A and B are shown apart, each in its own frame.
Chain A
Amino acid sequence: MKKQRYTMKNGIMIIAVMFLLCILIGVFSMYVGKMNLSPMEVFQTIVGNGTKKQNLIVFDFRLPRITLAILVGIGMGVSGIIMQSLLRNDMASPGTLGISSGSGLLVLVYVVMFSTSGASSKYLLPLLAFAGGITAAILIFILSYRRGRDISPTSLILTGVALGNGYSALSLMITLKLDKTQMEFAQRWSAGSLWGDHWDYLKILAPWTLLFVGYAFYKSRMINTLHLGNQTAIGLGLAVKKEFTGLLVAAIALSSGSVALGGNFFFVGMICPHMSRKLVGPNHKLLIPASGFCGAIVVLLADTITRTISFGADIPTGIIITVLSIPYFLYLLSKS
């Protein structure tokens, strides 16, 4: 008889391996960058014997950046898996639901209105990016809502794509008016530059991400049931509207948080759920941690690559991810 492809035991093993991999890349990532530190120097610095310069590099540059990469990856990975399973569509992701272009638009507005005037506080940009993502998502829901009907995944995605194009058009209009430095910031943001690598930001993003990932993990049984389809879920006694809304809010909150500080990493939200399904199967108790760690590994790895290899210019992390994952994506498409 054919052996079972996915078991709980294997799944936990795979997640443990992913966790270790994440730590390994994180440790490796500490050593590399524009200013090379030897492993010994990093170790000495961490235990408290570093010079002033080493302290600065490790604690103020590298560690927050690594932490941000991990948080953004987890946020995108978990957000993606929730959206794909709730909407039962492999193309669903924070990107297709218009969250990316929504927050992108507000980032541009910020660049135009505040960056030159100096009136900005350091929390304004992430707040605006966050608000843009949430607003876009809410708008999509309002527009695809039909009275007395279930929320249809197809209409959500179609509305998301349509609105996303609208946002992009508006963004383009604004972009045309930018000067060179403004333009550069906007472009780096939309390519995914992990710009918010400062402890002040991380103090907010870390509990935010943990809270919603914890919620989603706690609700993994509900996602399993919702994944069977709304009708079957109702038959099984799930309060579909309530759980669906709660989980979608969590997914939107996670991706908006990641977008606000990391920039555009939506490919992670689309690819990582796919990979995790292949690795651990359809049970969300395994899928949610797997997709989160997968996201963390991908973002962290890409960021380490950008910092290790010089491409001649300062390449944003997101570009590396997109370039690396397109072959995988094409492979997926050719197989299905």
Chain B
Amino acid sequence: MNSIMTDKLDIAYEEALIVKQLNMKVPHGKITSIIGANGCGKSTVLKAVGRVLKPKQGTVYLNGEDIKKLTTKEVAKKMAILPQTPTAPSGLTVGQLVAYGRFPHQKGFGKLTDEDKKIVEWAIHVTKLDEYKDREVDTLSGGQRQRVWIAMALAQKADQILLDEPTTYLDMSHQLEILELLYDLNRNQGCTIVMVLHDLNLAARFSDHMIAISKGNIIKAGNPMEVMTSHVLKEVFNIDAKIVEESETGRPICITYKLLRGVS
């Protein structure tokens, strides 16, 4: 079963068509990573699915329903999106920002109900932010801040979470920490995760499903073993990559690569 599906999606900035006739499927309850070179349209696809960008043509289906036929509030209850570099207003505490995640469930003036408060507590607990609850978001480190935004998405109680490069600007250990958190959310809280990732090895290690995009077209979609092949990477990144199976995780890993010249 697919939680998100696109049907012949055309996406354009102004007049330039970035993505043409895209048919993409995101399996339900899995972690899906979209990979591709800079400017290939992977973030664009994520934005169109998350209705931040209006596609020129085609349809996005969320759990089988045409996203255009749902109100943006209804969509927000089913799908949360995190932009690449969200910013929090200065002075806002972790608890307050996470509570903003309850927005689509609130009415009128928006006083937090007991249930809202319980969900906010839960989101903060799952992301291991309990001790930071009253800290101001802009005083936290990059990794902690990213966890706060993920907590806000969780408080939305959406089954699907879309993330645009959630590990950008983070060091190796914090990248791992974020991806392990997302893995935990997927396995234990049943969230379907869709993200754009730059690091191929991390993508292969944490994803159940990968989608490789080049020039707005899907080159290959499937499990990491099928997508992380030297053939696919050659087509997507124009590199000659050496792929082996990493013994500890059993996942494919790219140990070294060369730039291919004059082929593209």
Q: B93: which A residues are within 8 A, CB to CB?
A: 4, 6
By a CB distance below 8 angstroms, the chain A residues around B81 are 231, 234-235
Is B156 on the interface with A (CB-CB < 8 A)?
yes
Chain A minimum-CB-distance residue to B131: A1
Q: Does any Cβ of B come within 8 Å of A227's Cβ?
A: yes
Chain B, residue nearest A241 (CB):
B72
Given the known inter-chain contacts A4-B134, A228-B86, please indicate yes or no for A234 contacting B103, CB distance below 8 A.
Answer: no
Q: Which residues of B contact A218 (CB under 8 A)?
A: 109
CB neighbours of B73 from chain A (8 A): 237, 239
Contacts of A100 in B (CB 8 A): none
Given A221-B106, A236-B100, A237-B77, is A231 in contact with B91 using a C-beta cutoff of 8 Å? no
Q: Which residue on chain B has the smallest CB distance to residue A234?
A: B52
- Name the B residues within 8 Å of A147 (CB-CB): 14
Report whether A236 and B88 are in contact in the complex, using a CB–CB cutoff of 8 Å: no
Which residues in chain A, 248-295, are within 8 Å of chain B measured between CB atoms? 277, 281-283, 285
A277 proximity list for chain B (CB < 8 A): 90-91
Residue A312 is within 8 A (CB to CB) of chain B in the complex: no
A207 contacts B by Cβ under 8 Å: no
Q: In this assembly, does B96 line the interface, its C-beta being within 8 Å of a C-beta of chain A?
A: yes
Contact A235 B76, beta carbon cutoff 8 Å: yes
Instruction: Output the least CB separation between A150 and chain B (Å).
Output: 9
Chain A residues with Cβ below 8 Å from B92 are 281-282
List the B side residues contacting A2 at CB < 8 Å: 134-135
Task: List residues of A (215-237) whose CB comes within 8 Å of B's CBs.
Answer: 218, 220-221, 224-225, 227-232, 234-237
Complex Cα distance, B73 from A148, in Å, reads 21
Residues of A within 8 A of B104 (CB): 236-237
| Alpha-carbon distance A281/B51, docked complex (angstroms) | 31
Q: Tell me the smallest distance from the CB of B74 to a CB of chain A, in Å.
A: 8
Which residue of B72, B83, B90 contacts A239 across the interface (Cβ within 8 Å)?
Answer: B72
Interface readout for A38-72 with B: 1 if CB under 8 Å, 0 if not? 00000000000000000000000000000000000
Do the beta carbons of B54 and A235 come within 8 Å of each other?
no
Q: Tell me the residues in window 140-193 of chain A with beta carbons closer than 8 Å to chain B beta carbons.
A: 146-149
| Complex alpha-carbon distance, A239 and B72, angstroms | 7
Scoring B residues 13 to 57 as 1 if CB is less than 8 Å from chain A, else 0, what string do you get?
010000000000000000000000000000000010011101000
Let me know if B228 is at the binding interface, CB within 8 A: no
Closest residue of B by beta carbon distance from A218: B109
Residues from 53 to 87 in B contacting A, C-beta threshold 8 Å: 54, 71-77, 80-83, 86-87
Contact of A231 among B12, B83, B89 (CB under 8 A): B83
Q: Is A335 an interface residue when CB atoms closer than 8 A count as contact?
A: no
Contact of B109 with A237 in the complex, beta carbons under 8 Å: no
In the bound complex, what is the Cα–Cα distance between A283 and B106 (angstroms)? Answer: 16
Whether B80 lies near A235 (C-beta < 8 A) is: yes
- Cβ contact of B103, chosen from A5, A227, A237, A283, cutoff 8 A: A237
Residues of B within 8 A of A229 (CB): 83, 86-87
- Interface residues in A1-23 (C-beta closer than 8 Å to B): 1-6
A109 at the interface (CB under 8 A from B): no
Most B C-beta atoms less than 10 A away, residue of A6, A148, A234, A235: A235
> Would you give 12 A-B contacts (Cβ < 8 Å), ordered by A?
A4-B134, A5-B91, A148-B14, A227-B89, A228-B88, A231-B47, A235-B82, A237-B73, A237-B75, A237-B76, A239-B72, A277-B91
Measuring CB to CB, which residues of chain B are less than 8 angstroms from any residue of chain A? 12, 14, 47, 50-52, 54, 71-77, 80-83, 86-93, 96, 100-101, 103-104, 106, 109-110, 131, 134-136, 153, 156, 162
Residues of A bordering B, CB below 8 Å: 1-6, 146-149, 218, 220-221, 224-225, 227-232, 234-239, 277, 281-283, 285
